[in-house]
Amino acid sequence: MISIFLTILIGAFWGGSFVAIQAVVAQFPPLVAVFWRIALATVVMAPIVCVKRKPLWPQHSKRLAMVSGALAMGIPWCLLFWAEQHVNGALGAIMNATVPVFVLLLSPLYHPKAVTRQQWLGVGMAFMGIVVVFMPGLQTGGASNAWAVAALVGMAIAYANGLLFAQRFLRGLAPTTASLWQGVGGASFVAVVALSSGYSLWNPDLILEPIPRWGILYLAVFSTAIANIILLWLLQQKGSVTTSLVTFLIPLFSIIIEWMYFGTEPSRTTWAGTVMVLMGLYIVQFWRQRKKVRMDAPILSSASGDET
C-alpha cells in the first residue's frame, strides 16, 4: 500500500509542475530555471543526508549518480522547459506520459529480462486513456511548433533512459544520498550548458518576483527533492517499468489543479480517460501479484494443514 500512496503523491507533485514551469519560463530563460530547480533541490537534500549520516560512497558510485543526474534531470528538463514556451499543457502532458513506452523499448539495452505481455497491456491501456483525456484539446488547439514537439519526444526518451540507468547502476544505494549526487551532476550539467549558451545563472528577479520565486521553490522542494527520493525508492522496490507509470498520473493531476484554480470542470471524456489510466496502472502493478497469490494459496494451505 505504501507504494501506491507514494506513486500518487509524486504524481501530484509532478502534476503541479506544469503550472509552475509555465509560470517560470514566461519570465526567465529555461536553462536558468532548470539550473535553479536542481541547485535548490540539492541544497535541500544536503542537510537530510548529513542528518541520516549515511556511510561515505566510493568515488565510482558518486560519479555514476552524477551521470544519472545529468541523464534523468538535466537533459529531459532542459528540453521540457524549452518546449513549454511553445506548446500547450495538453501536449506537454501527453508526451510526458509516453515515458513508460520508451522505458519498455529501451529496457532490453539495460536488462536481459523480457517485458511481459501484462506490462505491454497495462501501458497500452493507460496510454489510450491519456489520449482520450487530451484528444479534445489537441483537436481544438494543438501545437504549432514542430521543434517543440520534437523536444518533448526527446524529453520522454531521455527521461526513460535516465530511469533505466538509475535502476541499473544505483541499485542498493541510499535514495537520499543518491538524490544528492544526482542533483550535483544535474546542476553541473545544466550550468555548463547555460553558461556556454551565454546565459547568466543569477537574476535578482528570481528572488524579488513572487511568481517565479514560489514557482522555483515548489519545483525544487516538492517536484525534485522530495519526489526524487520517492522515485529512487520506488525504482529499487518496483523496477523501472512499473515506476515510470507514475507519468500517467501527471496529466490527471494537472486537470485537477486546473479545475481547482480555474473552475474548468472535467468532461465525461476526461473521466473516461481517467478510468482507463487507473485500469492500466492496476494491470501493471497488481494483476500479476493477485494472480500469483491465487495460484500460491492452495499450496500454502495444504502445506500448513488447513482445509478450504
153-172: pLDDT as tens digits: 899 899 999 988 988 888 77
Q: Which helix (H) or strand (E) holds 45?
A: helix 30-52
Q: What is the dihedral of CA 172, 119, 10, 8, to 10 degrees?
A: -120
Burial annotation 32-63 (CB, 10 A radius, 16+ → b, else e): bbbbbbbbbbbebbeebbeeeeeeebeeebbe
The answer to whether 62 touches 178, Cβ cutoff 8 Å, is no
Secondary structure class of 58 (helix, strand, coil): coil
Q: Annotate 205-235 with DSSP letters as a single string.
A: HHHHSHHHHHHHHHHHIIIIIIHHHHHHHHH
Domain spans, the chain: 2-297
191-214: pLDDT as tens digits: 999 999 999 888 777 677 777 788
Q: Is the pTM of this model over 0.85?
A: no
Digits of tens for pLDDT over the chain (308 positions)?
A: 788 888 889 888 988 888 788 888 888 899 999 999 999 999 988 887 777 666 556 667 888 989 999 999 999 999 999 988 887 665 677 777 778 778 877 888 887 766 678 878 887 887 887 778 766 665 555 545 678 878 888 998 999 999 889 888 887 777 778 888 899 999 999 999 999 999 988 877 767 777 778 889 999 999 888 888 888 788 778 776 667 677 778 877 877 777 776 666 667 877 787 788 778 767 765 655 555 444 344 433 333 344 33
Residue type, 60: H
